């Protein structure tokens, strides 16, 4: 396991089944940590390095398998033969999320403010819509769709 890309899949690493619950994942990781934590192998540099790599892989597995979105993406990649989780797939998924109103947003904070603005627009509460759109733009200043929505709201306020 000298190359991290050659790692066994996360389920095998932690010794759990694919349908394991979060409690089972936590328990398996803690059991793994007791056996493989690098601090247990201080004497030998080679053993320390090997167990450090194992522990890092198990920590990655733990983080991915406990997050339902990351776990779903990991499982999809595993079917294709990818044994490592790729964070760029999560970013692709997040980028494709469209809140009500159809504006593409990357930031979860901008999404929250835009959702509030969209509700205010539906209720024809223009000052509230303007405020929330301005807050969303602070989180994504380069988003032209947000700018257009704000201009639309400002036009209706006149």
Per residue in 98-157, pLDDT (tens digit) is 566 777 787 888 888 999 999 999 999 999 999 999 999 998 888 888 999 999 999 998
Domains, the chain, ranges and CATH?
4-93 (1.10.287.110), 99-157 (no CATH)
Q: Which of 84, 68, 98 is nearest to 13 (CA)?
A: 84
Q: Which long-range contacts (CB under 8 A, 24 or more apart) does 43-52 make?
A: 50/1
pTM score over 0.75: no
Q: What secondary structure, in 3-state letters, does 86-143 show?
A: CHHHHHHHHHCCCCCCCCCCCCHHHHHHHHHHHHHHHCCCHHHHHHHHHHHHHHCCCC
């Amino acid at each position: 396991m000298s190359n991290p890309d050659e790692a066994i899949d996360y389920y095998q690493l932690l010794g759990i089944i694919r349908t394991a619950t979060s409690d089972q994942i936590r328990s398996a990781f803690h059991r793994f940590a007791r056996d493989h934590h690098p601090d247990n192998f201080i004497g030998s540099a080679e053993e320390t390095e090997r167990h450090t790599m194992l522990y890092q892989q198990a920590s990655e597995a733990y983080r991915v398998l406990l997050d339902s979105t990351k776990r779903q993406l990991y499982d999809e990649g595993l079917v294709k033969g990818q044994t490592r989780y790729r964070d760029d797939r999560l970013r692709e998924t997040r980028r494709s999320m469209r809140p009500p109103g159809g504006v593409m947003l990357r930031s979860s904070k901008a999404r929250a403010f835009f959702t509030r603005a969209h509700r205010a627009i539906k209720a024809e509460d223009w000052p509230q819509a303007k405020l929330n759109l301005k807050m969303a733009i602070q989180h994504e200043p380069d988003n032209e769709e947000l700018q257009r929505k704000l201009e639309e709201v400002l036009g209706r306020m006149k």
